[in-house]
Chain A
């Protein structure tokens, strides 16, 4: 499997999930407790009391402080122990790690790694999720599979035709050639599939009202390790963007996934669908929420099954890659290089153009 990529930002939760109740979530194998201060700031601390490892998430908040539910060790928002039961002296080592967090685009991002490297690492954007010009439905499904299986899944959408037929898949998806672009400096893998004349799957026919055939563009923008964007453009056949880049006659759906490893064998599968049409229409929102969740759960079933297969296979299993895997292979190489960087080592297997001189 691809090892964890440390020293990166990860989506830990939707902002709406974090409130004045203690909230536990494991990210890259690190148990973390989240809460908001009385002023509304998100706090993230290691979810283990320094005393006897009791989960702080099973404790209680008093003001902005967490009081351990086992023996009462009390921590401030920086993870510093400020009270020990029955004694005045607080050991110097009595603190739990505090994590850097940023709220952006409706997500709570947490930095996993050396805190000193956080500020120099930009957090990728998904601005549609917090934009009045879009209506958003979203969710999160637990995946009992390693994160790289989800990366593989999302980088090759030809599987829509087979795994998601009747929802988002049509024959043209698997039949249309893709273009893969890799920008090593910006750390992005981009996979384009522009279908000039395609059937309109129910997911889009019902939500847009288009009944005929469509021009359908799928542009994947993967910013490893965590953020995956699918820019989806739907329009009647022949309707293209204007020369100046405006595109008033098309329907745009921004599908956002945050791929956050929980453990080596499980993943938080955050998904969101933002649209620039039928704004505020609850019926369309309910339809898209139900359908996209169904599609995500179809992937979950398949990937959970695949995880069991992969766990049981012998080392050195031989797999075959074909044209549709070009983007997935690029993503794998980039993740491998980033994992090596995250360990503070030189990349053992550079990605496309990584570490090479430009000619």
Chain B
């Protein structure tokens, strides 16, 4: 039996981790402060990470679509190249 998924590789208390949730199209962002959120768009995800500490409350991510309301409203649209 082999483990599924990726193990944490970097050490330290300042690491931001983005996990592609197995079997889904979702990304789970884990901020260095411990806050977690699920996203379907990596661009919106990085906006949330960069907003720290705004909207970051430590705790496990909820179900799908539990990202901050302001981000959840973002349509999944292309962004200018170079973003």
Residues of A within 8 A of B (CB): 1-2, 177-186, 188, 190, 192-194, 196-197, 215, 219, 237-238, 240, 310, 313, 316-323, 325-326, 329-330, 332-333, 350-353, 356-359
Contact = CB atoms under 8 A, between A and B. Distances in A.
Contacts of B27: 323, 326
Interface residues of B, number: 43
Contacts of B42: 321-323, 325-326, 329
15 contacts: A179-B18, A180-B17, A181-B10, A181-B15, A181-B17, A185-B14, A190-B9, A190-B10, A192-B6, A317-B80, A319-B83, A332-B82, A333-B46, A352-B16, A356-B53
A190 to B, nearest CB: 5
A318 B45 CA distance: 18
Interface of B: 1-10, 12-22, 25, 27, 31-33, 41-43, 45-46, 49-50, 52-53, 56, 77-83
Given A179-B18, A351-B50, A353-B14, 20 more contacts: A178-B6, A179-B6, A179-B9, A179-B17, A179-B20, A181-B16, A185-B14, A186-B10, A215-B2, A316-B80, A317-B80, A319-B80, A319-B81, A321-B83, A322-B42, A326-B18, A332-B82, A358-B13, A358-B33, A359-B52
B49 to A, nearest CB: 5
A237 B81 CA distance: 40
Contact of A353 (B3, B7, B20, B52): B52
A306 B21 CA distance: 31
